[in-house]
Structure 1
């Protein structure tokens, strides 16, 4: 199976490498060409533009940083729309809002192509291990055709119906994750200031009803103020902002998410945006 791949950031690079290692033929594109080097060493081809990747491949996956990047790759000069046509599928695995997904879907389908949004739950390590959770919505036939790729990239994929549902589900998941990380940060700080051992707090949490892999994975590094970026804080804050906007649209009160978002914004103002989202602990 031949697949195009647009975007080789922390997540995209790991995902494209997994496809290569599992026998897929992959053509990659990235704004910074140097990021393609390791993929080429593993057997990938390089497309000069998004349009050239679409032209070469029946299926093309995009994994981009935010809504503006997702729209740019589709609508700008040498973008996806210049070559998308009947029989070609476009799978956007970026985390964006439902409106952005809908705009891209409409443009792709007007050109005769078919579209699937498929944002993922998981960060760097699950991407490297092929253990992402894939939240797909859109063209059911395209979803079924992409299952071999999704089985390599993730441990489970869901088909959620119409375009927009995948984006909404991902925002809800990341909103909850951001609230949990903010709460853990406050708890660690409160324990420390109260004269308690922070690692002991983590041990207690891990034995109780709120035990979870994120606290176990991130907590020890947070105690050491060590934040290698598995999921950059700036992207977590972007997702909090988009989730709060979804709450506004649906008249859902979200005071906990709003407070957590302020903490992530503060962290960005402190220059922590490129560190892992657990760096909210510094606030």
Structure 2
């Protein structure tokens, strides 16, 4: 079975390479020629010149930055759903909102295409080692039919039930993670005012209830002044925004998370959007409170 993979950037690239290394025939498509070539270095699979070239694939993955990108590729008269054969499986890997996922599921189903929403729980480095936890929603029979594919791209594979739940767990994870990072950044700023060296403060906090994944990973980067992009601040802003919009659509008022959203928005507006999300640290103390 030929596998199509649309979007081989920071997250999609590692997953596509895992499939290629496992001996799968993978046809990749990305607007970035550099990303395509980096992916093809893993083996002898090919590159598509256009999305339509994936029409004869029996399994298609999408891993794209924004919900609108996924919709643009898959929906409409020129979308891939119009070209795929019935029975094809579409696995959507992007961080998108539940409403978009439901629309994709319904549009795919109308064409006889199976749809699974598979959101990812950790980092590109974990994805490269096939250690990415996956939260998967959709028809359970289709999830089980993919049992030989899941271990190739990540682990563990959690079946979540509906596509809404698969989207929600990723957005909740990123909201909590980015909230932890923002609070850590504020704590480090307060520590500076108290005369505590950054690395020492992080070491001390790691021995307390304040410890978090973001502290362990990004705390040392903040201390070293390392804001090189691993997961961009603008992408973090997008995920927190989608999470807050999801909550609002369900009638929930998330006061703390709305404050986190405002902080990341301020950091982006100050020009830090293309740096790592830990650059939210640079906005601490500059954001005006209403």
Match of 2:44 in 1: 43
Distance (whole Å) between structure 2 residues aligned to residue 40 and residue 15 of structure 1: 12
In the alignment, which residue of structure 1 is the partner of 2:244?
A: 244
Q: Which residue of 1 aligns with 2:204?
A: 204
Partner Cα separation in structure 1 for residue 36 and residue 67 of structure 2: 22
**Shift of residue 209 of structure 1?**
2.8
1:78 positional shift: 4.6
Partners of 2:19 and 2:196 in 1: CA distance? 46
* Residues 56 and 85, structure 2, Cα contact 8 Å, conserved in 1: no
Match of 2:287 in 1: none
Cα distance between partner residues in 2 of 1:232 and 1:95 = 14
Q: Is the 8 A contact 1:108 1:115 kept in 2?
A: yes
Q: Give the number of aligned pairs.
A: 282
CA gap 1:139/1:211 in 2 versus in 1, 3 angstroms: same
Q: Does 1:104 align with 2:104?
A: yes
Alpha-carbon contact 1:119-1:167 (below 8 Å) kept = yes
Which consecutive aligned stretches of 4+ in structure 1 deviate over 6 angstroms post-superposition? none
Matched, 1:180 2:172: no
Superposed CA deviations along residues 113-166 of structure 1, whole A, max 9, x for unmatched, are 110011111122112222111111012222112232221222211111122211
Cα RMSD, aligned residues only: 1.6
Q: Per-residue displacement from partner, 1:201-239 (whole Å, max 9, x unpaired)?
A: 111122223323321111111112212222111111111
Report the equivalent of 2:63.
63
Paired residue secondary structure (1:147): coil
The question of whether the paired residues in 2 share the 8 Å contact of 1:29 and 1:49 is answered with yes
TM-score, normalisation: structure 2: 0.92
Moved more, 20-29 or 61-70: 20-29
SS, match of residue 270 in structure 1: helix
Quick one: distance in 1 between partners of 2:145 and 2:237? 33
Kindly state the Cα deviation for residue 49 of structure 1 after the two structures are TM-superposed. 2.1
**Is the contact made by 1:133 and 1:154 (CA closer than 8 Å) also made in structure 2?**
yes
Instruction: Quote the Cα distance in structure 2 between the aligned partners of 1:16 and 1:257.
Output: 33
